Amino acid sequence: MSNGRAITARTDADLETTSFVKDFLALIKIGIVNSNLVTTFTGLWLAFQFSNRHFLDELDLMFYTLFGAALIIAGSAAMNNFIDRDIDPIMSRTKSRPTVTGRFKPTAVLSVALTFLVVGEILLFMASVSAGVWGLAGIISYVVLYTMWSKRKHVSNTIVGSISGAIPPVIGWAAVEPTLGWGALSLFLIMFAWQPPHFYALAMKRTEEYRAAGIPMLPVIKGFAHTKRSMLLWILVLFPLPFLLMELGTWFLVLATALNIGWLVLALKGFKAVDDLKWAKGMFIYSLNYMTIIFVSMIIFSIFS
């Protein structure tokens, strides 16, 4: 019997640990951390390739950059959860966050967020002053300009939020080449233009939740037709941007253009869509695949260019 109680106790402890880890990963928005690390690494890698430096000779720089970027992204996400804990219970997408369920106390969340931000910035400044400064720009644009200011007040909140989402590849580039250049600007512009159609698709799926929470997302304020036109415009903006990275070769330009054409065709179908929400889901999935494919392909083509 005592052995049975011991097994039960261990099982309960394992479940508690699993639950804690799951909640912690939700707190720092691990999916966002991972996706932004892909773009950070791409900026880092391209800067190495274009400057004819070898990453194996500078593994410490890679560690400072990637770990530092991961920490400031996670810290910023935790700050977002801390600030939005009053409206998150209203939306089904966010009502299970640990700041809503009470799993983590607000003071603990704030402490974790600030610790991550400070340690992350120290690591980025160890990589280069430029990387540290761009890290600060990312934190301010996401936490202050987006979360604290525009998110609840302006229909342009998605565009404001796109600034912070476009900074990670610049951080990676700045760690290697602090003076930046056309390559860093190209990555910033691609990420900036990609985000509105990506997040507008998500906003269409969650329109009523955003409306209930009082968040002025574009579909809530302007409606679906206006949102579709905006998505189409931003996709058109993407078309010339890969040509700023001509060093990656013809096949990269062909692939990027094909991805843009595919997204454009899907966007145009939206104007005749019978089920807007089903179409928005397709746009959202395409945007995720687009971002993954184009940034991974940059890494691959840079090796052979």
Angle (CA) 181-231-46 rounded to 5° is 25
CATH placement of domain 19-180: 1.10.357.140
pLDDT digits (tens, 9 = 90+) for 206-265: 999 999 999 999 999 999 999 999 999 999 999 999 999 999 999 999 999 999 999 999
pLDDT digits (tens, 9 = 90+) for 149-160: 999 999 999 999
pLDDT digits (tens, 9 = 90+) for 16-70: 566 888 999 999 999 999 999 999 999 999 999 999 888 888 899 999 999 999 9
Query: Is residue 8 predicted with pLDDT exceeding 60?
Result: no
pLDDT at residue 175 in the model: 97
pLDDT digits (tens, 9 = 90+) for 119-167: 999 999 999 999 999 999 999 999 999 999 999 999 999 999 999 999 9
What secondary structure letter does DSSP report for 95?
T
Query: Is residue 13 predicted with pLDDT exceeding 90?
Result: no
pLDDT-based confidence at residue 5 (cuts at 50, 70, 90): low
- Lowest average pLDDT, out of 1-5, 44-48, 75-79, 292-296, goes to 1-5
Angle (CA) 250-184-265 rounded to 5° is 50
pLDDT at residue 82 in the model: 95
How far, in Å, CA of 254 to CA of 293, rounded? 13
| Token pair of 19 as six digits | 């639950």
pLDDT-based confidence at residue 4 (cuts at 50, 70, 90): low
